[in-house]
Amino acid sequence: NAGVMQNPRHLVRRRGQEARLRCSPMKGHSHVYWYRQLPEEGLKFMVYLQKENIIDESGMPKERFSAEFPKEGPSILRIQQVVRGDSAAYFCASSPPGRIQETQYFGPGTRLLVL
Amino acid sequence: TQLLEQSPQFLSIQEGENLTVYCNSSSVFSSLQWYRQEPGEGPVLLVTVVTGGEVKKLKRLTFQFGDARKDSSLHITAAQPGDTGLYLCAGPPGTNAGKSTFGDGTTLTVKP
């Protein structure tokens, strides 16, 4: 049973380009969460999605950032027109359906570097 | 928003020493999770504490959940270099409209 998968593991973009980060949740999990982490800091919540629905995006910047979790395929975190301040590690987590109190399981993260 | 404060932020000790890290909040949590994160990796779940006053042991790690379910501690006995990492406490996803509240973590370095 594979864990949460994220790709790419490392992503380098120049200012103004787009970054697309992918997350495949654990098998059977329908809840996906995205977090951002700066060096030596904790994880900051960005967005919580269920299949085809955004449940809570209160932690996501209003501009340039978007997320989706389609019926088929991975969840995508998209950052348009990246700036240097977007450089960070982005983690995806998933949890099973139904019981919202279930613990989240994290992927290995995507490290975004904006030049 | 429920906040979790962790202390100390950084801890550097010699192999064989004991240590305790703390996770405190003014809010009540139905449960708390402890994660360990190594450089370049995602957080890995260590334990979930659910009952006030609960104590869970994982080899040399002892986790305690406060009676009022507002705080938790992690005690490591005879620390080893392999314990080095970022230790994070977190409230469960359902606590705060779906998002999990994380503390800023304690960065532990165990020197051989």
CB contact under 8 A, A33 and B31: no
Of A59, A106, A107, the CB nearest to B99: A59
Helix (H) or strand (E) holding B81: none
Q: How far apart are CA A94 and CA A103, in angstroms?
A: 8
CB contact under 8 A, A48 and B98: yes
Of A33, A40, A56, the CB nearest to B107: A40
Asked if A93 reaches chain B (Cβ–Cβ under 8 Å), the answer is yes
Confidence at residue B104, expressed as pLDDT on a 0 to 100 scale: 87
Q: Which residues of chain A have pLDDT under 50?
A: none
Confidence at residue B3, expressed as pLDDT on a 0 to 100 scale: 82
Confidence at residue B15, expressed as pLDDT on a 0 to 100 scale: 97
With cut-offs at 50, 70 and 90, classify the pLDDT of residue B26.
confident
What is the DSSP track for A18-81?
Answer: -EEEEEEPPTT--EEEEEEE-TT--EEEEEEEETTEEEE-TTS-SSSEEEE--SSS-EEEEE-S
Q: How far apart are CA A19 and CA B3, in angstroms?
A: 30
- pLDDT tens for each residue of B55-110: 999 999 999 999 999 999 999 999 999 999 999 999 876 545 556 688 889 999 99
Asked if B35 reaches chain A (Cβ–Cβ under 8 Å), the answer is yes
- pLDDT tens for each residue of B33-61: 999 999 889 999 999 998 999 999 999 99
Asked if B8 reaches chain A (Cβ–Cβ under 8 Å), the answer is no
Alpha-carbon torsion angle A5, A7, A9, A13, nearest 10 = -160
Confidence at residue A34, expressed as pLDDT on a 0 to 100 scale: 95
CB contact under 8 A, B99 and A103: no
Residue B30 has pLDDT above 90, yes or no: no
Confidence at residue B18, expressed as pLDDT on a 0 to 100 scale: 97
Q: How far apart are CA B31 and CA B66, in angstroms?
A: 10
- Contact between residue A78 and residue A70 where contact means Cβ atoms under 8 Å apart: no
CB contact under 8 A, B45 and A103: yes
In this structure, the number of other CB atoms found within 10 A of the CB of residue B12 comes to 12
CB contact under 8 A, A107 and B105: no
Query: Which H, E and C letters describe A64-87, residue by residue?
Result: CEEEECCCCCCEEEEECCCCHHHC
